[in-house]
């Protein structure tokens, strides 16, 4: 069965850019590993399929030829889990619009697929023919009954066909929508059809926004907001702006032992997790999974006075690195990188790296290459040692030493980018005699990090970079003031922590604001609606570990102003995270085996 395309495209020899295909068929059975063609559109002089629909066991493939690439290229859009070999009648509706392809089987929930190559805006059908149930040769002949095969302009056939109350009747009759289309244009007018393309809206937690999701919408139910993907970020189209009202205790998270750090991360298609860096071995550190609105134990990992975790990915590989502070029972001192096993759904050891009282890992990418930097705090009693930056070797699949940087009792790395430039800031804490020392910011130039700026700090434990509008800030958490050659202050721990702002003209960070803190060990930046916040981990005031940690609200010209005082015990680390149910803060306690999840209540 075949006919020239010119019989269908009377007034124009181009295939429509947006269209729907309706097929009602009854498949008698397809042998394994066999493909059968429902229809094809092929040029006379070429064996290539310009447009086609092909059925395989449990799959449906839509094929089209894209001439935008040099020499042309056939793109295959696959819809998995489409089972038609049950000897029953089925109606398929395929809607095509640009990079968006949607398949509806028997008016059920549509299967949506986004591909990198869009359906061509100009596909010539000159000297081409349609072939029904074949591709102009015996191989791939369709075996079954074909009731109707309809091509409609516009990618909105699904709501028009599936609006029928009696679906069975609709499947076996010519759709009424065909009767509404003009048969021919008036004079020289171009045919216009009254349709609008289906809008793709994703629900649930924040989905990825890449080129494949471009022009798709995401509805965030918890924030009551509608967002549009521009190919890289979600742009707010309609949102009820939330305001932080107060913070309430949500979950007491019992940990294996005191927790030095916590890392919250999401593994795609698996879930939300929190990894706690616990002090003692046994039992080691733990990973918790967010289940039914709570963190529940998921996996235990042997660690040695773990200080922090770092989650990162390289391509499709998922890793979690732990910074171990002490030696194991054999006297060996190393930190470990774990890799996520999709088969076991667990983290398994991947690479050991020799470290010296490691405090922190930082993962980052520069010019397409993956790096991992470790903070070495001390070796024996010597605090002035090298911290190391490792580069991923894709050939060996391992991290290899790339650069060493001298540090002094360092606690933290913080990587950030400004425009085309990459920076790495180190928090130096103690040089053996004083905590009043310089911490440094390095800039990536000519294949290595070079000193960019030095800032005087007092037992610096953390750097936090954040942006408010076009402004770039860098906050340091100062933990204590000690100098063996100077008289002791009245309080070592009541000390200002500072926020610096990038001065583009001076090409350096300048002090913006001082905030009184109590042995501050961490800053965490987060947003609620249009408001920006900083929460500090106050750990010790010189007398007690039961100290209020404070949430500061950004007040523009006033800077950051204290808004909420949160009772904490030996607070070591803060993590902000979001779920479909709302926004949360998780803090770890370095003085008791109990961390807390707090929920941000909004209005």
What is the token pair recorded at 474?
A: 């860098």
Phi, psi of 212 (to 5 degrees): -70, -30
d(CA 172, CA 161): 11
User: In whole numbers, what is the pLDDT of the chain averaged over residues?
Assistant: 90
pLDDT reported for residue 88 = 85
Match 């919408």 to its residue by tokens. 217
Among 62-71, 291-300, 314-323, 529-538, name the one with the lowest average pLDDT.
Answer: 62-71
Which pLDDT tens digit goes with each residue over 512-565?
Answer: 999 999 999 999 999 998 899 999 999 999 999 999 999 999 999 999 999 999
Residues 207 and 200: beta-carbon distance below 8 Å:
no
| Strand pairing class (217-220; 201-202) | parallel
CA 495 – CA 489 distance, rounded (Å): 10
Please identify which residue in the block is written with the tokens 């021919």: 184
pLDDT tens digits, residue range 232-266?
A: 888 888 877 789 999 999 999 999 999 999 999 99
Residue 284's Cβ-side half-sphere holds a number of Cα atoms within 13 Å equal to: 13
- Rounded CA-CA distance 542/480 in Å is 10
Pairwise CA distance, residues 203 & 199, whole Å: 13
* Rg of the chain on CA atoms, in Å: 31
Residue with tokens 């007018």: 189
At residue 199, the pLDDT reads: 61
* Topology, domain 2-162: Jelly Rolls (2.60.120)
Residue 473 near residue 513 (C-beta atoms within 8 A): no
pTM above 0.85, yes or no: no
Give residue limits of the domains in the chain: 2-162, 200-240, 244-602
**Position 83 pLDDT exceeds 50:** yes
Classify 244-602 by CATH class.
mainly beta
Q: What are the tens digits of pLDDT across the range 186-229?
A: 455 444 444 444 566 777 778 888 877 788 888 887 667 889 98
Provide the pairing of β-strand 89-97 with 100-105: antiparallel
């Amino acid at each position: 069965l075949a006919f020239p395309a010119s019989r269908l495209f009377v007034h124009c020899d181009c295939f429509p850019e947006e269209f729907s295909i309706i097929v009602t068929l009854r498949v008698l059975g397809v042998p394994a590993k066999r493909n059968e063609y429902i229809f094809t559109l092929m040029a006379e002089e070429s064996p290539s399929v310009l447009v086609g629909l092909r059925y395989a066991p449990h799959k449906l493939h839509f094929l089209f030829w894209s001439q935008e690439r040099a020499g042309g290229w056939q793109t295959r859009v696959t819809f998995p889990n489409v089972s038609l070999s049950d000897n029953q009648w089925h109606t398929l509706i395929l809607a095509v619009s640009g990079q968006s392809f949607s398949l509806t089987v028997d008016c059920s929930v549509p299967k949506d697929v986004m591909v990198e190559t869009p359906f061509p805006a100009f596909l010539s059908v000159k000297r081409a023919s349609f072939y029904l149930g074949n591709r102009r040769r015996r191989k791939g002949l369709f075996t079954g009954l074909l009731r109707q095969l309809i091509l409609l302009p516009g990618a909105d056939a699904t709501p028009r066909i599936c609006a029928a109350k009696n679906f069975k009747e609709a499947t076996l009759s010519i759709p009424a929508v065909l009767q509404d289309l003009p048969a021919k244009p008036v004079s020289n007018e171009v045919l216009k059809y009254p349709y609008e393309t289906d809008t793709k809206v994703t629900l649930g937690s924040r989905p990825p926004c890449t080129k494949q999701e471009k022009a798709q919408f995401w509805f965030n139910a918890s924030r009551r907001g509608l967002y549009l993907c521009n190919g890289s970020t979600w742009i707010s189209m309609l949102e009820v702006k939330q305001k932080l009202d107060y913070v309430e205790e949500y979950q007491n998270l019992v940990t294996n032992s005191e927790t030095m750090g916590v890392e919250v991360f999401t593994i795609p298609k698996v879930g939300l997790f929190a990894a706690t860096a616990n002090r003692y071995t046994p039992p080691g550190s733990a990973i918790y999974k967010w289940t039914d609105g709570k963190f529940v134990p998921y996996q235990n990992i042997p660690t040695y006075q773990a200080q922090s975790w770092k989650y990162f990915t390289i391509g499709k590989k998922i890793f979690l690195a732990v910074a171990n502070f002490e030696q194991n029972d054999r006297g060996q001192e190393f930190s470990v990188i774990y890799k996520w096993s999709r088969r076991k759904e667990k983290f398994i050891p991947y690479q050991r790296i020799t470290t010296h009282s490691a405090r922190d890992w930082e993962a980052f990418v520069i010019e397409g290459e993956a790096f991992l930097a470790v903070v070495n705090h001390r070796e024996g009693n010597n605090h002035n040692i090298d911290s190391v930056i490792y580069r991923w070797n894709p050939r060996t699949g391992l991290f290899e030493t790339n650069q060493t940087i001298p540090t002094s009792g360092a606690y933290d790395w913080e990587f950030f980018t400004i425009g085309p430039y990459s920076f790495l800031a180190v928090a130096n804490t103690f040089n053996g005699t004083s905590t009043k020392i310089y911490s440094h910011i390095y800039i990536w130039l000519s294949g290595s990090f070079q000193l960019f700026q030095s800032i005087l700090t007092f037992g610096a434990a953390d750097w936090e970079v954040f942006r408010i509008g076009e402004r770039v800030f860098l906050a340091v958490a100062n933990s204590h003031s000690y100098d063996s050659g100077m008289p002791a202050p009245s309080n070592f721990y009541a000390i200002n922590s500072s926020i610096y702002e990038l001065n583009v003209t001076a090409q350096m960070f300048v002090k913006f604001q001082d905030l009184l803190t109590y042995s501050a060990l961490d800053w965490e930046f987060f947003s609620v609606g249009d408001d920006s916040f900083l929460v500090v981990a106050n750990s010790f005031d010189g007398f007690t570990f039961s100290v209020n940690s404070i949430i500061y609200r950004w007040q523009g010209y006033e800077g950051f102003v204290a808004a909420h005082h949160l009772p904490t015990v030996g607070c070591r680390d803060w993590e902000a995270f979001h779920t479909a149910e709302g926004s949360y803060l998780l803090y770890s306690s370095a003085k008791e085996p109990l961390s807390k999840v707090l929920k941000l209540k909004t209005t």
